[in-house]
Structure 1
Amino acid sequence: MAIALDRFCINRKIAPNLTIEQFFQVVKKCGLNKVELRNDMPSGKITDDLSAEQVNALAQKYGMEIITINALGRFNLGAERAQVLANAEAMLKEAQAIHCQALVLCPHCSADDSRSDEQKQQETLQALSALAPLFQQYGVTGLVEPLGFGISSLRSSLLTQSLIHDAAAPYKLVVDTFHHHLDEVDQAAFDRQMAMESIGLVHLSGVEDDRPAANLTDEERIMLTPTDRLKSKQQVDNLERLGYRGLYSFEPFSSVLASWSEADIEREIKQSIALLQG
Protein backbone atom coordinates (compact mmCIF):
# COMPACT_ATOMS: atom_id res chain seq x y z
CA MET A 1 0.00 0.00 0.00
CA ALA A 2 1.46 3.37 -1.04
CA ILE A 3 2.45 5.81 1.70
CA ALA A 4 -0.21 8.53 1.92
CA LEU A 5 0.84 12.04 0.89
CA ASP A 6 -0.12 13.43 4.29
CA ARG A 7 2.75 11.44 5.80
CA PHE A 8 5.38 13.38 3.83
CA CYS A 9 7.06 16.52 5.11
CA ILE A 10 9.64 18.86 3.54
CA ASN A 11 12.64 20.22 5.44
CA ARG A 12 13.51 23.80 4.52
CA LYS A 13 17.12 22.76 3.90
CA ILE A 14 15.96 21.84 0.36
CA ALA A 15 15.27 25.51 -0.40
CA PRO A 16 18.11 27.65 0.98
CA ASN A 17 17.41 30.56 -1.36
CA LEU A 18 13.62 30.70 -1.06
CA THR A 19 11.67 32.88 1.33
CA ILE A 20 9.38 31.12 3.75
CA GLU A 21 6.38 32.10 1.62
CA GLN A 22 8.04 30.74 -1.55
CA PHE A 23 8.93 27.56 0.32
CA PHE A 24 5.33 27.11 1.47
CA GLN A 25 4.14 27.69 -2.11
CA VAL A 26 6.42 24.96 -3.52
CA VAL A 27 5.37 22.49 -0.83
CA LYS A 28 1.72 23.17 -1.58
CA LYS A 29 2.33 22.67 -5.33
CA CYS A 30 3.58 19.19 -4.45
CA GLY A 31 0.27 18.41 -2.76
CA LEU A 32 1.84 18.45 0.71
CA ASN A 33 1.14 20.47 3.84
CA LYS A 34 3.88 19.68 6.39
CA VAL A 35 7.22 21.46 6.77
CA GLU A 36 10.27 21.64 8.99
CA LEU A 37 11.90 25.02 9.64
CA ARG A 38 15.55 25.51 10.61
CA ASN A 39 17.87 27.80 12.53
CA ASP A 40 20.81 27.37 10.12
CA MET A 41 19.41 29.03 7.01
CA PRO A 42 21.22 32.00 5.36
CA SER A 43 19.32 34.50 7.52
CA GLY A 44 20.55 32.80 10.68
CA LYS A 45 17.02 32.96 12.08
CA ILE A 46 14.22 30.39 12.26
CA THR A 47 11.66 32.69 10.65
CA ASP A 48 14.07 35.01 8.75
CA ASP A 49 12.81 38.55 9.35
CA LEU A 50 9.17 37.54 9.79
CA SER A 51 7.31 37.85 13.06
CA ALA A 52 5.51 34.87 14.55
CA GLU A 53 2.24 36.47 13.52
CA GLN A 54 3.39 36.78 9.91
CA VAL A 55 4.56 33.15 9.83
CA ASN A 56 1.26 31.99 11.29
CA ALA A 57 -0.65 34.00 8.68
CA LEU A 58 1.39 32.43 5.87
CA ALA A 59 0.95 28.94 7.33
CA GLN A 60 -2.79 29.50 7.44
CA LYS A 61 -2.84 30.96 3.90
CA TYR A 62 -1.09 27.92 2.41
CA GLY A 63 -2.47 25.31 4.80
CA MET A 64 0.93 24.42 6.25
CA GLU A 65 1.66 22.58 9.48
CA ILE A 66 5.05 23.37 11.01
CA ILE A 67 6.16 19.99 12.31
CA THR A 68 9.59 20.82 13.73
CA ILE A 69 12.36 23.32 14.15
CA ASN A 70 15.84 21.92 13.46
CA ALA A 71 17.79 22.01 15.72
CA LEU A 72 19.02 22.48 19.25
CA GLY A 73 22.67 21.55 18.74
CA ARG A 74 25.29 20.21 21.18
CA PHE A 75 22.44 19.42 23.54
CA ASN A 76 24.40 16.68 25.34
CA LEU A 77 27.56 18.65 26.11
CA GLY A 78 27.62 18.92 29.89
CA ALA A 79 30.19 21.73 29.91
CA GLU A 80 27.65 23.95 28.12
CA ARG A 81 24.55 22.90 30.07
CA ALA A 82 23.55 26.45 31.08
CA GLN A 83 23.85 27.71 27.51
CA VAL A 84 21.98 24.68 26.17
CA LEU A 85 19.10 25.33 28.56
CA ALA A 86 19.00 29.01 27.57
CA ASN A 87 19.07 28.14 23.85
CA ALA A 88 16.38 25.53 24.35
CA GLU A 89 14.05 27.94 26.12
CA ALA A 90 14.47 30.58 23.40
CA MET A 91 13.74 28.03 20.67
CA LEU A 92 10.81 26.55 22.54
CA LYS A 93 9.27 30.01 22.97
CA GLU A 94 9.57 30.54 19.23
CA ALA A 95 8.19 27.08 18.48
CA GLN A 96 5.18 27.74 20.69
CA ALA A 97 4.61 31.14 19.04
CA ILE A 98 4.49 29.65 15.52
CA HIS A 99 2.46 26.60 16.60
CA CYS A 100 5.35 24.27 15.84
CA GLN A 101 4.85 20.76 17.18
CA ALA A 102 8.42 19.67 17.96
CA LEU A 103 12.05 20.69 18.37
CA VAL A 104 14.89 18.46 17.14
CA LEU A 105 17.86 17.86 19.46
CA CYS A 106 21.24 17.05 17.89
CA PRO A 107 24.31 15.78 19.78
CA HIS A 108 27.76 17.33 20.01
CA CYS A 109 29.97 16.36 17.04
CA SER A 110 33.64 17.19 17.31
CA ALA A 111 36.95 15.40 16.79
CA ASP A 112 38.15 17.29 19.88
CA ASP A 113 35.57 15.64 22.16
CA SER A 114 37.75 13.88 24.74
CA ARG A 115 34.92 12.47 26.84
CA SER A 116 34.73 8.71 27.31
CA ASP A 117 31.81 6.80 25.82
CA GLU A 118 30.44 6.38 29.34
CA GLN A 119 30.65 10.12 30.00
CA LYS A 120 28.96 10.93 26.69
CA GLN A 121 26.07 8.62 27.57
CA GLN A 122 25.85 10.00 31.11
CA GLU A 123 25.78 13.62 29.92
CA THR A 124 23.20 12.76 27.26
CA LEU A 125 20.94 11.26 29.91
CA GLN A 126 21.51 14.22 32.23
CA ALA A 127 20.68 16.66 29.42
CA LEU A 128 17.46 14.82 28.54
CA SER A 129 16.39 14.95 32.18
CA ALA A 130 17.32 18.63 32.58
CA LEU A 131 15.52 19.69 29.38
CA ALA A 132 12.32 17.69 29.96
CA PRO A 133 10.57 20.27 32.19
CA LEU A 134 11.09 22.98 29.54
CA PHE A 135 9.51 20.86 26.81
CA GLN A 136 6.60 20.15 29.12
CA GLN A 137 6.23 23.83 30.02
CA TYR A 138 5.98 24.93 26.39
CA GLY A 139 3.93 21.98 25.16
CA VAL A 140 6.45 21.03 22.49
CA THR A 141 7.74 17.51 21.74
CA GLY A 142 11.48 16.81 21.90
CA LEU A 143 12.82 14.74 19.00
CA VAL A 144 16.30 13.30 19.64
CA GLU A 145 18.35 12.67 16.49
CA PRO A 146 21.47 10.50 16.72
CA LEU A 147 24.09 11.46 14.14
CA GLY A 148 26.07 8.64 12.54
CA PHE A 149 29.33 10.53 11.96
CA GLY A 150 32.36 8.87 13.54
CA ILE A 151 32.99 11.98 15.66
CA SER A 152 29.39 12.11 16.95
CA SER A 153 28.80 11.75 20.68
CA LEU A 154 25.49 9.95 20.03
CA ARG A 155 25.52 7.72 16.94
CA SER A 156 23.22 4.80 17.70
CA SER A 157 19.44 4.87 17.35
CA LEU A 158 19.14 1.89 19.71
CA LEU A 159 21.26 3.61 22.36
CA THR A 160 19.19 6.76 21.91
CA GLN A 161 16.00 4.78 22.41
CA SER A 162 17.47 3.30 25.60
CA LEU A 163 18.55 6.70 26.97
CA ILE A 164 15.13 8.20 26.23
CA HIS A 165 13.58 5.31 28.16
CA ASP A 166 15.96 5.87 31.09
CA ALA A 167 15.17 9.61 31.11
CA ALA A 168 11.51 8.70 31.74
CA ALA A 169 10.41 11.69 29.64
CA PRO A 170 8.19 11.68 26.52
CA TYR A 171 10.91 12.30 23.94
CA LYS A 172 10.72 10.64 20.55
CA LEU A 173 13.51 9.45 18.30
CA VAL A 174 14.45 10.72 14.83
CA VAL A 175 15.67 7.99 12.49
CA ASP A 176 17.68 9.48 9.61
CA THR A 177 18.43 7.21 6.65
CA PHE A 178 21.82 8.92 6.07
CA HIS A 179 22.94 8.58 9.67
CA HIS A 180 21.52 5.06 9.91
CA HIS A 181 23.80 4.15 6.98
CA LEU A 182 26.85 5.88 8.51
CA ASP A 183 26.37 4.19 11.87
CA GLU A 184 26.59 0.79 10.13
CA VAL A 185 23.87 -0.40 12.48
CA ASP A 186 23.28 -4.10 13.12
CA GLN A 187 20.10 -4.27 11.08
CA ALA A 188 18.86 -7.47 12.70
CA ALA A 189 19.27 -5.91 16.15
CA PHE A 190 17.53 -2.75 15.00
CA ASP A 191 14.59 -4.71 13.59
CA ARG A 192 14.33 -6.75 16.75
CA GLN A 193 14.75 -4.01 19.35
CA MET A 194 13.47 -0.76 17.84
CA ALA A 195 9.95 0.09 19.00
CA MET A 196 8.16 1.81 16.14
CA GLU A 197 6.07 3.88 18.57
CA SER A 198 9.30 5.45 19.88
CA ILE A 199 10.06 7.00 16.47
CA GLY A 200 8.68 10.51 16.06
CA LEU A 201 10.07 11.31 12.61
CA VAL A 202 12.16 9.80 9.81
CA HIS A 203 14.54 12.00 7.83
CA LEU A 204 15.18 11.02 4.21
CA SER A 205 17.98 11.85 1.80
CA GLY A 206 19.98 10.03 -0.83
CA VAL A 207 23.67 9.65 -1.73
CA GLU A 208 25.19 8.63 -5.07
CA ASP A 209 28.82 9.38 -4.17
CA ASP A 210 30.79 6.12 -4.08
CA ARG A 211 33.34 6.95 -1.38
CA PRO A 212 33.35 4.81 1.82
CA ALA A 213 30.56 5.54 4.29
CA ALA A 214 33.04 6.85 6.87
CA ASN A 215 34.08 9.58 4.41
CA LEU A 216 30.59 10.83 3.58
CA THR A 217 29.47 14.25 4.79
CA ASP A 218 26.29 16.31 4.59
CA GLU A 219 27.62 17.68 1.28
CA GLU A 220 26.86 14.36 -0.43
CA ARG A 221 23.20 14.33 0.64
CA ILE A 222 20.76 14.87 -2.22
CA MET A 223 17.22 13.64 -2.87
CA LEU A 224 16.31 10.00 -3.51
CA THR A 225 17.33 8.26 -6.72
CA PRO A 226 17.19 4.64 -7.97
CA THR A 227 20.96 4.35 -7.35
CA ASP A 228 20.87 5.74 -3.80
CA ARG A 229 23.70 4.15 -1.78
CA LEU A 230 21.82 4.77 1.47
CA LYS A 231 19.05 2.51 0.17
CA SER A 232 16.57 4.94 1.69
CA LYS A 233 13.67 3.32 -0.16
CA GLN A 234 14.58 -0.07 1.31
CA GLN A 235 14.96 1.53 4.75
CA VAL A 236 11.47 3.01 4.40
CA ASP A 237 10.02 -0.28 3.17
CA ASN A 238 11.53 -1.99 6.20
CA LEU A 239 10.15 0.59 8.63
CA GLU A 240 6.72 0.18 7.07
CA ARG A 241 7.04 -3.59 7.38
CA LEU A 242 7.89 -3.18 11.07
CA GLY A 243 4.76 -1.05 11.58
CA TYR A 244 5.97 2.55 11.41
CA ARG A 245 3.09 4.85 10.43
CA GLY A 246 4.57 8.25 11.23
CA LEU A 247 5.99 11.07 9.11
CA TYR A 248 8.81 11.05 6.58
CA SER A 249 10.64 14.31 5.97
CA PHE A 250 12.97 14.97 3.02
CA GLU A 251 16.20 16.56 4.28
CA PRO A 252 18.89 16.93 1.59
CA PHE A 253 21.94 19.02 2.52
CA SER A 254 24.23 19.41 -0.50
CA SER A 255 25.37 22.88 -1.56
CA VAL A 256 24.03 22.09 -5.07
CA LEU A 257 20.57 22.81 -3.65
CA ALA A 258 21.44 26.51 -3.69
CA SER A 259 21.28 26.45 -7.49
CA TRP A 260 17.87 24.74 -7.67
CA SER A 261 14.90 26.72 -8.95
CA GLU A 262 11.43 26.31 -7.52
CA ALA A 263 10.64 24.03 -10.46
CA ASP A 264 13.73 21.91 -9.69
CA ILE A 265 12.67 21.55 -6.06
CA GLU A 266 9.13 20.58 -7.02
CA ARG A 267 10.41 18.02 -9.54
CA GLU A 268 12.86 16.45 -7.07
CA ILE A 269 10.22 16.15 -4.34
CA LYS A 270 7.71 14.56 -6.68
CA GLN A 271 10.30 12.14 -8.10
CA SER A 272 11.41 11.07 -4.61
CA ILE A 273 7.83 10.47 -3.48
CA ALA A 274 7.11 8.48 -6.66
CA LEU A 275 10.20 6.35 -5.97
CA LEU A 276 8.98 5.57 -2.45
CA GLN A 277 5.45 4.86 -3.58
CA GLY A 278 6.52 2.68 -6.53
Structure 2
Amino acid sequence: MSSIRFALNHMCAPSLSLESFFSAANTLGIDSVEIRNDLAGKAILDGTPAATVGELAARYGLTIISINALQRFNEWNEARAKEAAKLIGYARDCGAQALVLVPVNDGSGREPEARKQNLVAALTALKPMLDAAGIVGLVEPLGFEICSLRSKTEAAAAIEELGAQSAFRLVHDTFHHHLAGETAIFPALTGLVHISGVSDTAVSVADMRDPHRVLVNASDRLDNVGQMRALLSAGYAGPFSFEPFAPDVHALKEPVTALKESMAYMAAHV
Protein backbone atom coordinates (compact mmCIF):
# COMPACT_ATOMS: atom_id res chain seq x y z
CA MET A 1 0.00 0.00 0.00
CA SER A 2 3.04 2.24 0.29
CA SER A 3 2.89 3.32 -3.37
CA ILE A 4 -0.63 4.74 -2.89
CA ARG A 5 -0.92 7.78 -0.65
CA PHE A 6 -4.55 7.75 0.43
CA ALA A 7 -6.33 10.83 1.75
CA LEU A 8 -9.83 11.44 3.11
CA ASN A 9 -12.30 14.09 1.98
CA HIS A 10 -14.90 14.92 4.66
CA MET A 11 -17.52 13.87 2.06
CA CYS A 12 -16.57 10.26 3.00
CA ALA A 13 -18.48 10.61 6.24
CA PRO A 14 -20.20 14.01 6.31
CA SER A 15 -22.20 13.20 9.44
CA LEU A 16 -19.00 13.00 11.52
CA SER A 17 -17.84 16.07 13.39
CA LEU A 18 -14.50 17.44 12.22
CA GLU A 19 -12.72 15.86 15.20
CA SER A 20 -14.37 12.46 14.61
CA PHE A 21 -13.43 12.72 10.93
CA PHE A 22 -9.80 13.48 11.86
CA SER A 23 -9.86 10.57 14.31
CA ALA A 24 -11.16 8.25 11.54
CA ALA A 25 -8.23 9.27 9.32
CA ASN A 26 -5.87 8.39 12.18
CA THR A 27 -7.50 4.99 12.63
CA LEU A 28 -6.97 4.27 8.93
CA GLY A 29 -3.31 5.32 9.05
CA ILE A 30 -4.07 8.26 6.73
CA ASP A 31 -2.24 11.54 7.34
CA SER A 32 -3.87 13.82 4.74
CA VAL A 33 -7.41 15.21 4.76
CA GLU A 34 -9.63 17.58 2.82
CA ILE A 35 -12.09 19.77 4.68
CA ARG A 36 -15.21 21.28 3.09
CA ASN A 37 -17.18 24.51 3.18
CA ASP A 38 -20.51 22.93 2.19
CA LEU A 39 -21.38 20.69 5.16
CA ALA A 40 -24.14 22.22 7.28
CA GLY A 41 -23.42 22.24 11.00
CA LYS A 42 -19.76 21.30 10.48
CA ALA A 43 -16.56 23.29 10.19
CA ILE A 44 -16.20 25.49 8.09
CA LEU A 45 -19.88 26.45 7.78
CA ASP A 46 -20.52 26.37 11.54
CA GLY A 47 -18.16 29.29 12.11
CA THR A 48 -15.25 27.31 13.61
CA PRO A 49 -12.21 29.63 13.48
CA ALA A 50 -9.45 28.61 11.07
CA ALA A 51 -6.89 28.50 13.89
CA THR A 52 -9.04 25.97 15.78
CA VAL A 53 -9.19 23.72 12.70
CA GLY A 54 -5.41 24.02 12.29
CA GLU A 55 -4.78 23.14 15.95
CA LEU A 56 -7.09 20.12 15.72
CA ALA A 57 -5.33 18.86 12.59
CA ALA A 58 -1.94 19.27 14.30
CA ARG A 59 -3.18 17.34 17.34
CA TYR A 60 -4.05 14.41 15.09
CA GLY A 61 -0.83 14.74 13.05
CA LEU A 62 -2.75 15.55 9.88
CA THR A 63 -1.98 17.69 6.85
CA ILE A 64 -4.97 19.58 5.45
CA ILE A 65 -4.34 19.18 1.74
CA SER A 66 -7.29 21.28 0.63
CA ILE A 67 -10.44 23.19 1.37
CA ASN A 68 -13.14 22.02 -1.00
CA ALA A 69 -14.21 24.38 -2.65
CA LEU A 70 -14.62 27.77 -4.31
CA GLN A 71 -17.68 27.12 -6.49
CA ARG A 72 -18.26 28.83 -9.89
CA PHE A 73 -14.66 30.05 -9.82
CA ASN A 74 -14.67 30.74 -13.59
CA GLU A 75 -17.56 33.18 -13.28
CA TRP A 76 -15.34 35.93 -11.92
CA ASN A 77 -17.08 38.95 -10.41
CA GLU A 78 -16.98 41.06 -7.26
CA ALA A 79 -18.88 38.52 -5.18
CA ARG A 80 -16.55 35.71 -6.31
CA ALA A 81 -13.48 37.81 -5.52
CA LYS A 82 -14.73 38.37 -1.96
CA GLU A 83 -15.58 34.70 -1.53
CA ALA A 84 -12.16 33.70 -2.88
CA ALA A 85 -10.36 36.11 -0.54
CA LYS A 86 -12.24 34.71 2.44
CA LEU A 87 -11.56 31.06 1.56
CA ILE A 88 -7.91 31.68 0.68
CA GLY A 89 -7.48 33.48 4.03
CA TYR A 90 -9.15 30.58 5.84
CA ALA A 91 -6.93 28.07 4.03
CA ARG A 92 -3.82 30.03 5.00
CA ASP A 93 -4.90 30.40 8.62
CA CYS A 94 -5.82 26.74 9.15
CA GLY A 95 -2.64 25.52 7.47
CA ALA A 96 -4.34 24.08 4.37
CA GLN A 97 -2.12 23.66 1.34
CA ALA A 98 -4.68 24.32 -1.38
CA LEU A 99 -8.14 25.48 -2.38
CA VAL A 100 -10.18 23.41 -4.84
CA LEU A 101 -11.67 25.49 -7.68
CA VAL A 102 -14.94 24.15 -9.15
CA PRO A 103 -16.31 25.55 -12.43
CA VAL A 104 -19.83 26.70 -13.31
CA ASN A 105 -21.96 23.60 -13.85
CA ASP A 106 -25.40 24.86 -14.87
CA GLY A 107 -25.17 24.82 -18.67
CA SER A 108 -23.98 28.43 -19.01
CA GLY A 109 -20.60 29.61 -20.29
CA ARG A 110 -20.01 26.54 -22.47
CA GLU A 111 -19.26 28.26 -25.79
CA PRO A 112 -15.56 27.75 -26.70
CA GLU A 113 -14.65 31.44 -26.73
CA ALA A 114 -16.54 32.20 -23.49
CA ARG A 115 -15.04 29.14 -21.82
CA LYS A 116 -11.52 30.26 -22.52
CA GLN A 117 -12.08 33.94 -21.68
CA ASN A 118 -13.82 33.12 -18.40
CA LEU A 119 -11.16 30.62 -17.37
CA VAL A 120 -8.24 32.93 -18.17
CA ALA A 121 -9.91 35.89 -16.42
CA ALA A 122 -10.46 33.85 -13.24
CA LEU A 123 -6.97 32.34 -13.18
CA THR A 124 -5.43 35.77 -13.81
CA ALA A 125 -7.35 37.28 -10.88
CA LEU A 126 -6.73 34.35 -8.54
CA LYS A 127 -2.99 33.97 -9.12
CA PRO A 128 -1.79 37.00 -7.10
CA MET A 129 -4.24 36.17 -4.29
CA LEU A 130 -3.02 32.58 -4.08
CA ASP A 131 0.66 33.54 -4.41
CA ALA A 132 0.38 36.10 -1.59
CA ALA A 133 -1.10 33.48 0.75
CA GLY A 134 1.19 30.63 -0.35
CA ILE A 135 -1.87 28.56 -1.32
CA VAL A 136 -2.25 26.43 -4.46
CA GLY A 137 -5.43 26.62 -6.57
CA LEU A 138 -6.58 23.14 -7.59
CA VAL A 139 -8.61 23.42 -10.80
CA GLU A 140 -11.17 20.61 -11.01
CA PRO A 141 -12.83 20.12 -14.43
CA LEU A 142 -16.20 18.34 -14.13
CA GLY A 143 -17.14 15.68 -16.67
CA PHE A 144 -20.85 16.57 -16.83
CA GLU A 145 -22.03 17.59 -20.30
CA ILE A 146 -23.47 20.85 -18.96
CA CYS A 147 -20.17 21.92 -17.33
CA SER A 148 -18.32 25.05 -18.46
CA LEU A 149 -14.95 23.32 -17.98
CA ARG A 150 -14.97 19.58 -18.74
CA SER A 151 -11.45 19.15 -20.06
CA LYS A 152 -8.20 18.94 -18.14
CA THR A 153 -6.44 19.58 -21.46
CA GLU A 154 -8.16 22.97 -21.67
CA ALA A 155 -7.34 23.84 -18.05
CA ALA A 156 -3.70 22.79 -18.48
CA ALA A 157 -3.37 24.90 -21.64
CA ALA A 158 -4.69 28.01 -19.85
CA ILE A 159 -2.36 27.50 -16.86
CA GLU A 160 0.60 27.08 -19.22
CA GLU A 161 -0.37 30.07 -21.34
CA LEU A 162 -0.40 32.27 -18.22
CA GLY A 163 2.86 30.76 -16.91
CA ALA A 164 0.92 30.15 -13.71
CA GLN A 165 2.21 26.71 -12.71
CA SER A 166 3.42 28.15 -9.39
CA ALA A 167 -0.16 28.93 -8.37
CA PHE A 168 -2.26 26.19 -9.98
CA ARG A 169 -2.50 22.43 -10.25
CA LEU A 170 -5.19 20.14 -11.64
CA VAL A 171 -7.51 17.80 -9.78
CA HIS A 172 -7.81 14.48 -11.59
CA ASP A 173 -11.19 13.19 -10.45
CA THR A 174 -11.63 9.57 -11.59
CA PHE A 175 -15.41 9.99 -11.90
CA HIS A 176 -15.19 13.19 -13.94
CA HIS A 177 -12.30 11.88 -16.06
CA HIS A 178 -14.49 8.94 -17.08
CA LEU A 179 -17.58 11.07 -17.74
CA ALA A 180 -15.64 13.57 -19.85
CA GLY A 181 -14.27 10.75 -22.00
CA GLU A 182 -10.86 12.39 -21.72
CA THR A 183 -7.86 10.14 -22.28
CA ALA A 184 -5.09 12.66 -21.53
CA ILE A 185 -3.61 12.71 -18.06
CA PHE A 186 -1.27 15.36 -16.67
CA PRO A 187 0.80 13.69 -13.94
CA ALA A 188 3.26 16.58 -13.56
CA LEU A 189 0.50 19.18 -13.28
CA THR A 190 -1.82 17.07 -11.10
CA GLY A 191 -1.91 18.17 -7.46
CA LEU A 192 -4.68 15.90 -6.21
CA VAL A 193 -6.67 12.87 -7.32
CA HIS A 194 -10.26 12.35 -6.17
CA ILE A 195 -11.39 8.72 -6.17
CA SER A 196 -14.90 7.29 -6.21
CA GLY A 197 -16.51 4.44 -8.09
CA VAL A 198 -19.82 3.68 -9.76
CA SER A 199 -21.14 0.13 -9.28
CA ASP A 200 -24.73 0.63 -10.46
CA THR A 201 -25.06 -1.36 -13.70
CA ALA A 202 -28.37 0.27 -14.69
CA VAL A 203 -27.18 3.87 -15.12
CA SER A 204 -25.67 5.08 -18.41
CA VAL A 205 -22.43 7.07 -18.30
CA ALA A 206 -24.29 10.19 -19.50
CA ASP A 207 -26.73 9.85 -16.59
CA MET A 208 -24.14 9.25 -13.85
CA ARG A 209 -24.37 11.87 -11.09
CA ASP A 210 -22.85 12.45 -7.66
CA PRO A 211 -25.35 10.17 -5.82
CA HIS A 212 -24.01 7.21 -7.85
CA ARG A 213 -20.48 7.71 -6.47
CA VAL A 214 -19.56 4.97 -4.01
CA LEU A 215 -16.34 3.61 -2.53
CA VAL A 216 -14.23 1.83 -5.16
CA ASN A 217 -14.81 -1.93 -5.21
CA ALA A 218 -14.57 -4.91 -7.57
CA SER A 219 -17.67 -3.84 -9.53
CA ASP A 220 -16.37 -0.35 -10.32
CA ARG A 221 -17.32 0.82 -13.82
CA LEU A 222 -14.97 3.82 -13.95
CA ASP A 223 -11.67 1.89 -14.08
CA ASN A 224 -10.27 3.62 -11.00
CA VAL A 225 -7.58 0.95 -10.84
CA GLY A 226 -6.49 1.63 -14.42
CA GLN A 227 -6.55 5.40 -13.93
CA MET A 228 -4.52 5.13 -10.72
CA ARG A 229 -1.99 2.80 -12.34
CA ALA A 230 -1.56 5.19 -15.26
CA LEU A 231 -1.02 8.19 -12.97
CA LEU A 232 1.44 6.38 -10.69
CA SER A 233 3.45 4.89 -13.55
CA ALA A 234 3.64 8.36 -15.16
CA GLY A 235 5.18 9.76 -11.97
CA TYR A 236 2.27 11.15 -9.96
CA ALA A 237 3.24 10.91 -6.29
CA GLY A 238 0.46 12.91 -4.64
CA PRO A 239 -2.57 11.83 -2.63
CA PHE A 240 -5.59 9.80 -3.78
CA SER A 241 -8.47 11.26 -1.81
CA PHE A 242 -11.74 9.38 -1.23
CA GLU A 243 -14.71 11.52 -2.31
CA PRO A 244 -17.92 9.42 -2.42
CA PHE A 245 -21.25 11.26 -2.61
CA ALA A 246 -23.68 8.32 -2.49
CA PRO A 247 -26.29 8.59 0.28
CA ASP A 248 -25.80 4.91 1.17
CA VAL A 249 -22.09 5.54 1.80
CA HIS A 250 -22.95 8.59 3.92
CA ALA A 251 -25.40 6.45 5.93
CA LEU A 252 -22.80 3.78 6.83
CA LYS A 253 -22.62 3.06 10.55
CA GLU A 254 -19.00 1.87 10.19
CA PRO A 255 -17.40 4.13 7.55
CA VAL A 256 -13.87 3.23 8.72
CA THR A 257 -14.46 -0.47 8.02
CA ALA A 258 -15.83 0.27 4.54
CA LEU A 259 -12.93 2.62 3.75
CA LYS A 260 -10.42 0.03 4.96
CA GLU A 261 -11.95 -2.56 2.58
CA SER A 262 -11.79 -0.15 -0.36
CA MET A 263 -8.18 0.77 0.44
CA ALA A 264 -7.25 -2.94 0.59
CA TYR A 265 -8.98 -3.60 -2.75
CA MET A 266 -7.08 -0.81 -4.50
CA ALA A 267 -3.76 -1.68 -2.85
CA ALA A 268 -4.13 -5.27 -4.09
CA HIS A 269 -5.06 -4.32 -7.66
CA VAL A 270 -3.12 -1.13 -8.40
Structures share fold, TM-score greater than 0.5? yes
Matched, 1:77 2:43: no
Give the match for residue 27 of structure 1.
25
Give the match for residue 143 of structure 1.
138
Give the match for residue 41 of structure 1.
39
Aligned counterparts of 1:82 and 1:117: Cα–Cα separation in 2? 24
> Quick check: 1:16–1:42 contact (8 Å CA) kept in 2?
no
Deviation at 1:45, TM superposition (A): 4.9
Give the helix-richer structure, 1 or 2. Answer: 1
Aligned counterparts of 1:57 and 1:87: Cα–Cα separation in 2? 24
Change (3 A) 1:114 1:249: closer
Give TM-score, length-normalised by structure 2. 0.93
Aligned counterparts of 1:44 and 1:269: Cα–Cα separation in 2? 21
**What is the alpha-carbon root mean square deviation over aligned residues?**
1.5
Give the match for residue 200 of structure 1.
191
Moved over 6 A (4+): none
Q: Which runs of 5+ in 1 are unaligned?
A: none
Deviation at 1:4, TM superposition (A): 3.8
- Secondary structure at the aligned position of 2:84 is classed as helix
Deviation at 1:109, TM superposition (A): 0.5
> Quick check: 1:35–1:68 contact (8 Å CA) kept in 2?
yes
Deviation at 1:99, TM superposition (A): 0.4
Which amino acid is 1:226 matched to?
A
Equivalent residue runs for 1:86-235 within 5 Å:
86-111=82-107, 113=108, 116-169=111-164, 170=166, 171-185=168-182, 187=183, 190=184, 194-210=185-201, 211-235=203-227
Q: Which runs of 5+ in 2 are unaligned?
A: none
Which amino acid is 1:162 matched to?
A
Give the match for residue 258 of structure 1.
250
> Quick check: 1:233–1:275 contact (8 Å CA) kept in 2?
no
Give the match for residue 239 of structure 1.
231
Q: How many residues align?
A: 265
Which amino acid is 2:191 matched to?
G
- Secondary structure at the aligned position of 1:58 is classed as helix
> Quick check: 1:38–1:46 contact (8 Å CA) kept in 2?
yes
Deviations 1:174-220 (A, max 9, x none): 000000010011x2xx1xxx442111011000101221111010000
Give the match for residue 260 of structure 2.
270
Change (3 A) 1:250 1:115: closer
Percent sequence identity over aligned pairs: 38
Aligned counterparts of 1:181 and 1:86: Cα–Cα separation in 2? 33
Deviation at 1:47, TM superposition (A): 6.0
Give TM-score, length-normalised by structure 1. 0.91
- Secondary structure at the aligned position of 1:69 is classed as strand
